[in-house]
Every structure is written in C-alpha cells, then in structure tokens.
Amino acid sequence: MQKTYPDAASALDGLLKDGMLIAAGGFGLCGIPELLINAIREAGVKDLTFASNNAGVDDFGLGLLLQTRQIRKMISSYVGENAEFMRQYLSGELELEFTPQGTLAERMRAGGSGIPGFYTKTGVGTKVAEGKEEKVFDGETYILERGIVADLSIVKAWKADETGNLVFRKTARNFNPPAAMCGRVCVAEVEEIVPAGSLDPDHIHLPGIYVHRLIQGEHEKRIEQRTLREPASGGTREA
C-alpha cells in the first residue's frame, strides 16, 4: 500500500465530513499535528468533536479551529492556556467532556485495542462519575469508562519509514501513539520519511499497521511557556 502523500490536503482527501470524531495527538504545543490541523481548517468541515489532551493555544493547534467555530465538542483533560476555549465554553457555544488525563489516554488506547470499556477509580465521587456505571471490586468502587474509537486520527511524529512505522522524539510521544491507535483511519505528519527497513525495529514506537497515510513537512518549533530570570548587574536576561 502506498502511504506517502505530497501534502496535508491530499492526505485528508476523502476522509473529512461534518460531525465526525477526530482524535488528535499532542500535549500543550508539543507533538501537535499542525499541518493537518491547518488543512482541516482550510477544508471548512464543521460540527467536529475532537478527542485531544488540550486545544492548543489561541493562535496555534486546535485553537485555530476554535477561531473558525469548526469544533462543536472537545473531549479533553486540560483546558488552560486558551482564552477562546474558555470563552466559548462559558458562553455555552462549546461542549466539553472533561476527562482525567490518564483516563483519556487509556480510553484512546483501549479503543485502538478493541476494548470497549474499562473500570477505573479515577473520578469516583466527582462530577466525572455522573451518569456512569459503578462497580465494586475488592471493596473499592470503580466507574466504567468507554474506549474511544475515532473516525479519524491525526498525529505528528519525528520520523517514519515508507510503511508507516513511527518514531517520536522525546516528549512529543505523549498522546500521539494512543491517538493514532484509536482512529479507523490514521494520518501522520512527520519531519522525515526514510526507506523501509532503515529504522531499528527496537526503536519503533508505533507500528505502521496503525498508520494509513503519511506526509512530510516543515514544522514550527514553539515554546509554550518561556521563563526569564533577571540578569546580573550589567548583563542581559537569560532564558
């Protein structure tokens, strides 16, 4: 199967529709599939539900799709750093399914592994547990969480071979592997595509069986939080 496409728009061709559920990798500004997000914005599809740890910031990542009102609902674990996210949620324009971080990662992994649901103690006795089945194991209460199976997954990796095996760089690994697993179709953007067989099998983080389409592109390297210390007398400020 030919998995390599020339750009994000062609890689998403025939996959996008209004009202679909999309799982997106990334954590903060690290490992965001920015090229694919931009292509979704240009495609103009709307009423989307995104399963993603967060929604980027106001002018980057999924924040761009919030600006254009293409997202109807977020399934997220962290909703900070984005003023437009907060504004839309508080005004009732955006639906939010708040999910603890580890639970969100496991919901994605479970969906990708064919597991329809699992029990966890996280969220018991809180609003997270409202409306969910409870079960007692060994005297402890657990709640049932459903696995996520998305119509589409979009992820970013550092390197891929032509068959779709992915290698992530450091913390960009974050939510990308489980997000990739849970999509019926997965599109990955990478910084480099190498010939099949050139990656060390022991260094592959996600097998190509989960990846259906690939693009290579240039990516912006952003710093989410920059902290500066005051200079010594006569010096300049340092990061």
DSSP state of 216: E
Residues of the chain predicted below pLDDT 70:
224, 233-239
Question: What digits encode the pLDDT tens for the residues 35-53?
Answer: 999 999 999 999 999 999 9
Q: What is the pLDDT of residue 82?
A: 86
- Measure the CA–CA gap between 186 and 24, rounded to whole angstroms: 10
CB atoms closer than 10 angstroms to residue 102: 11
Helix (H, G, I), strand (E, B) or coil at 229: strand
Q: What is the pLDDT of residue 117?
A: 98
Q: What is the pLDDT of residue 80?
A: 77
Residue 20's φ and ψ, nearest 5 degrees, are: -80, 160
- Measure the CA–CA gap between 30 and 172, rounded to whole angstroms: 5
Question: What digits encode the pLDDT tens for the residues 61-100?
Answer: 999 999 999 999 999 998 877 889 999 999 999 999 999 9
| pTM of the entire predicted model | 0.91
Q: What is the pLDDT of residue 219?
A: 81
Q: What is the pLDDT of residue 237?
A: 59
For residue 66, CA distances in Å to 47, 48, 196 come to 11, 10, 38
Q: What is the pLDDT of residue 57?
A: 86
Q: b vs e for 20-32, b when ≥16 Cβ sit within 10 Å of the residue's Cβ?
A: ebbbbbbbbbbbb
> N- to C-terminal Cα distance for the chain?
46
Q: What is the pLDDT of residue 56?
A: 85
Q: Is 90 left (phi over 0), alpha (psi -120 to 50) or beta?
A: alpha
Structural domains in the chain, CATH included, are 8-216 (3.40.1080.10)
Q: What is the pLDDT of residue 234?
A: 62
